[in-house]
Structure 1
Amino acid sequence: MTGYIDVQQHMIPADYARWLREHGVHAPGGRELPEWSPALALELMDRQGIAAAILSISTPGVHWVRPEYERSVPRPGSTVGCPVCPPRSRGDPP
């Protein structure tokens, strides 16, 4: 493998971003929630010469969720992050 390794790449899947907005979270960390998708992440990686990345949920994460909301929070790590995880060769389409 050649290229950089991004050790802190953030993901914010659409269903999670929608849930956050519905619960009043629009600009965590002082920045609007960005558009994110596996394809956009892979395009960015290709443009920047990144061969591998470690994904984590973007700010604000899920630690702030009150107990009464826990079951309604989308599971971005398991529903979106896991399918992105299998390694791909540089020539594979995103």
Structure 2
Amino acid sequence: MPERGPEGTFRSTVTTADVVELFDVVDGPVLGSADVANHLGCTRDTARRKLDLLEKRGLVASRMVGCTKVFWRVDRSSDLREWLDEDEDA
């Protein structure tokens, strides 16, 4: 659930690192925003934004399957967390 930041605006408590960890835990080679939302307790919009950010950084790739955009890790041999900034979700 979102929390209020110091300036009073809502901030997401879900980080891209949380999303990265799902690629190791969820059964299957791909994730959709609904998968992320269900596992992390956030909205699909938040999940999609986090997945899109990971894709923009080149850490995951995506494609449309019917009406669903699915994402997968580009390089399964590396730990994606090492590419994330600690304060990138601030």
Shorter-chain TM-score: what band? under 0.3
Higher RCO (C-alpha 8 Å, min separation 6): 1
Per the normalisation by structure 1, the TM-score is: 0.25
| Bigger CA radius of gyration | 1
